Amino acid sequence: MMYQTQNDDFNIEETSPSKENVKSEYKKDILSIARRLLIYFIIFFFFSLLGRSVLRHMQLDSKYHYLLMDTSFVYTITAVFLYIGAFVGLIAWVVKTKFPFKRIFEHVAPKKMNVGTFFLISGSIFGIRFVSKLILMGIDKLFTQMGIPATLLGDASPEITSSIVFVLYLGVVAPFIEEVIFRGFIGYRMERYGKIFAIGFSAMIFSLFHANLSQEIFTFFLGILLAYIAFEYGFQWAVAFHMINNFIFAIIVDVYLSPAIVIDKHPLHSILELLGFVLLIYILFAKLPEIKAYISENHAFKGIGFITFTKWQIVLYILVILYYSVGIYFIQRGF
């Protein structure tokens, strides 16, 4: 495997270093990623929590009660703080790394997107939703048996569409910034050490970032798919499919079309998810030899996991988010 050395400013120089040099380069890269990831996490969640705090303080003042009764107002305030957190965090990452945005778009993708592949990927996203819901049903049942109150499954709320500001964040801004961070800054930087580990790691970090168990299962599988798309078809397609999922599938299909299109008591999104699952199974079996070859050709060096998950910044990131997304259920139960 050919590696390229890459310093903190992302200047690249082609070399064929020894395994020890590769590990040394990776240690520098993962430390840089870990630091910036933690900074981005702190900034984004600071503003996210600040937005919630503002709304809570408004609830304590009777003169704001009429505003808080307006769902559009609540979602707009929430979105404003999410915008601020996302952009300030992105700026902090870019300024710190001196990363030229054009490098992301100049990434050379070995494959070209065609109509057939586009629809296969779109269908696979619904298949991923089906699998994710099955897993959540299992977790929900386990929690119930343990006496832990949790509602992990639920349909999309029409209230999210009450604010155009929130819809634009969910459908356009969040997908772009998240792709820049998780597939661009992290995925592309780790790609040279092995695509498989880069895909898995970026998907895990992306999944945890949502800090919500109901979303983390789906976003992990979606993150795997988006990372593969970014590596093989280009960054612009990863952004496009992320936007398609958030805007077209999660809003247009789930909120507007599903209540209107019901077949034999099954809403549209349930039918699409089942069809997507069948398609996903077909793809996995039909492409199994190619998948095995891809994994074999793009594996990382031995010990990359240990190096990665012994960085305290990454450990802290994982533990804090697991506390908010999973641990809180056990604390409420008194474990």
Q: How confident is the model at residue 208 (pLDDT cuts 50, 70, 90)?
A: very high
Greatest mean pLDDT range, 134-148, 215-229, 313-327? 215-229
Query: Is residue 83 scored above 90 in pLDDT?
Result: yes
CA angle 279, 284, 288 (to 5 degrees): 150
Inter-residue contact 301 to 22 (CB < 8 Å): yes
Inter-residue contact 217 to 225 (CB < 8 Å): no
Q: Give pLDDT, residue 211.
A: 84
15-25 pLDDT, tens per residue?
A: 445 677 889 99
Query: Is residue 10 scored above 90 in pLDDT?
Result: no
Q: Which domain holds residue 59?
A: 24-329
316 belongs to a structural domain: yes
Query: Is residue 76 scored above 60 in pLDDT?
Result: yes
Query: Is residue 270 scored above 50 in pLDDT?
Result: yes
Beta strands 12-14 and 4-6, pairing class: antiparallel
Pick from 137-151, 202-216, 269-283: least confident: 137-151
4 belongs to a structural domain: no
225-267 pLDDT, tens per residue?
A: 999 999 999 999 999 999 999 999 999 998 888 888 888 888 9
108 belongs to a structural domain: yes
Query: Is residue 14 scored above 70 in pLDDT?
Result: no
143-182 pLDDT, tens per residue?
A: 778 777 666 666 667 778 888 999 999 999 999 999 999 9
Q: Give pLDDT, residue 1.
A: 45
Q: Give pLDDT, residue 115.
A: 96
Q: Give pLDDT, residue 28.
A: 92
Q: Give pLDDT, residue 15.
A: 45
Q: Give pLDDT, residue 193.
A: 94
5 belongs to a structural domain: no
195 belongs to a structural domain: yes
- The residue ranking higher by pLDDT, 204 or 17, is 204
CA gap 167, 256 in Å, rounded: 13
174 phi and psi, to 5 degrees? Answer: -60, -45
CA gap 240, 234 in Å, rounded: 10
- The residue ranking higher by pLDDT, 206 or 19, is 206
7 belongs to a structural domain: no
191 belongs to a structural domain: yes
- The residue ranking higher by pLDDT, 152 or 93, is 93
Inter-residue contact 32 to 123 (CB < 8 Å): no
User: How many domains in the chain?
Assistant: 1
Q: Give pLDDT, residue 212.
A: 85
Nearest to 188 by CA among 131, 104, 254: 104
Q: Give pLDDT, residue 11.
A: 44
What torsion, rounded to 10 degrees, do the Cα atoms 26, 27, 33, 35 define?
-170
- Cβ count near 25 (within 10 Å): 19
Q: pTM higher than 0.75, yes or no?
A: yes
Structure token digits, residue 150: 């949790």
Structure token digits, residue 139: 């977790």
Residue 116 CA, chain-centre distance (Å), reads: 25
Q: Give pLDDT, residue 332.
A: 60
DSSP structural state of residue 245: I
13 belongs to a structural domain: no
Inter-residue contact 133 to 296 (CB < 8 Å): no
